[in-house]
Amino acid sequence: MITLHLFLCALAVLWIYFLWSRRRIYKLMLELPGPIGYPIIGSTYEHVIQKKRQIRFRTKYFNKYGNTILTWIGPVPIVITRDPNFLKDVFATCHNKSVHMVKAITNCMGNGILSTQDPLWHEHRKNINPAFKLDLLVTFLPIFEAEANRVVSLLETYVDKGEKSVIRDMLRWSVRIAAQTTLGPDVKEEELFKNDTLVEKLNALISLTTLNLINPLAQKKIIVNLFGHEKQKTAHVAEVFKMVDNVSECKKNLNYIIKYLTCIVQVVEKRLNSKEESSGVESNILVNIAIDLYRKGVIKYNDIRSECGMMIAAGFDTSGLTAYHTLYTLAAHPQFQAKVFDELTEVFPNSADFQITYTDVQKLVYLDRAVKETLRLIPAIPITAREAATDLRLPNGVVIPKGVLIGTDIFHTHRNPEFWGPEADIFNPDNFLPENLQKRHSHAFVGFARGKRNCIGLKYAMLSIKFVLAKILRNYMVKTSFPFKDLVFVDNMTMKLVEYPRLEFLRRT
């Protein structure tokens, strides 16, 4: 009996200690508004089940509670904000992604720059920066040229045939350039990269990572196995764990991902066993940088595969989606597409098979504004999370304790009417005129993040996207019957739509 009493006392002491250790979080709950968090499932029930991860559920919360709210991912508290004033402090001081986010990424993609934490991240970033310098990016222009011409040839078969689905075509374009610029142009001869199902399987990998992110339970193999086949639970529990069942379905696709990573290993092995040393700009291709770091003992062998595989998986989706979204937004707003075309005809008087130089791309200032306005309204990454490195004070005086997750809601920051005005949801490339940018908060647009841990592929993405769009829009007028206001956005590691609008292509001269 005494032993039982001691055991119960120990449990009580541990429980009191647990509550005491979280006292600042409970205080934050009283000071910061937000939806109620339920045990185990947190605030995710409405988001995942009722709204099917539709982003507009947060629109409702922001409209109800204000620019910064407290919500819960399972048992994990997360402060979500669309306030540029607060984001400025977050990007300046919070360089680490949350442990929860890092675990989700490493579980699915392995170790790489996307999941590395400070202080290792800083050194890692410095090591691979050469792979994204301008002098190397310019050497990729022949790859961009060949793959853009390939897309134009494909779109030629769609001319005058009504609206077509082109989302997979644009994703296929981006995975081809991502593979060649990461592993070298020879990789396009590998059978795996000729297979159209690669896009589908990479998307499955990204979806698996997303499922790990939105519910910590999806990171627990025991929970997945325990509840993945439970059929007789209450409707509420069954719906929650239907998401976990989806994890098992995604894992079936990982066999294909293993083949994909094995292909990368084969490329790496060829480079490692080659007697010829890479020289000049070729030495700065990501795979060669990773191999050099491995030879110096800086990273492990498996990290070469993870780094290259992660860069292809992450880069292909963001660039492909942004190119597609820009085509759609210009199709849905023909008055702005006409201005893009006027600029293109000035730079490229002849249509069809014209060549593009880096200097030509720099002249496409209106196209640049159209791409950025698309990224404002349809950001490639809708939300991301950092961990508070120190106590952070909100503009209203509330203190966010060190260690708490801070979600940067990029989608809603870009549509915040307090900073973008009453027409924040309306497409208008003039938002990025220099005089308009000067009047706006520096962190009202964070499409590529900001601060020390901004997007390493920013220049690469904008160059490749404008390159392919110039080829397409100079040769074709793009039309759509799908209204812009009817788009329904879905939370994912990268932006998804409930329905992808179809596009019609008409030949220009």
Neighbours of 195 (CB within 10 A): 14
Q: At 499, which CATH number? A: 1.10.630.10
Cis omega (within 30 of 0) for bond into 119: yes
Answer yes or no: is 445 within a domain. yes
Answer yes or no: is 21 within a domain. no
Residue with tokens 């407290």: 70
pLDDT at res. 387: 86
pLDDT at res. 341: 97
pLDDT at res. 284: 63
pLDDT at res. 39: 65
Are β-strands 392-393 and 476-479 bridged in parallel, bridged antiparallel, or unpaired? unpaired
Are β-strands 76-81 and 68-73 bridged in parallel, bridged antiparallel, or unpaired? antiparallel
Answer yes or no: is 4 within a domain. no
**pTM, rounded to two decimals:** 0.83
Answer yes or no: is 2 within a domain. no
**Residues 86, 395 contacting (CB under 8 angstroms):** yes
Answer yes or no: is 63 within a domain. yes
CA nearest to 213, candidates 461, 88, 22, 381: 381
**Residues 198, 192 contacting (CB under 8 angstroms):** yes
Q: Domain range spanning residue 392?
A: 27-507
Answer yes or no: is 327 within a domain. yes
Q: Which residues pair with 392 in a beta bridge?
A: 400
Answer yes or no: is 182 within a domain. yes
Sign of CA dihedral 92, 94, 96, 98: negative
**Residues 337, 330 contacting (CB under 8 angstroms):** yes
pLDDT tens over the chain, length 509 residues: 667 777 778 888 887 877 777 777 878 888 888 887 766 666 766 655 555 678 888 898 999 999 999 988 777 788 999 999 999 988 888 877 777 677 766 666 666 667 777 777 777 778 778 878 888 888 899 999 999 999 999 999 999 999 999 999 999 899 888 888 887 777 766 666 666 666 666 666 666 666 666 555 555 554 444 444 333 333 333 332 332 233 334 334 444 444 555 555 555 556 556 655 554 445 567 777 777 777 777 777 777 777 777 777 777 788 999 999 999 999 999 999 999 999 999 999 987 778 999 999 999 999 999 999 999 999 999 988 888 888 888 888 888 888 888 989 999 999 999 999 999 999 999 999 999 999 999 999 999 888 888 888 889 999 999 999 999 999 999 999 999 999 999 887 789 899 999 999 999 97
How many structural domains are present in the chain?
A: 1
Answer yes or no: is 117 within a domain. yes
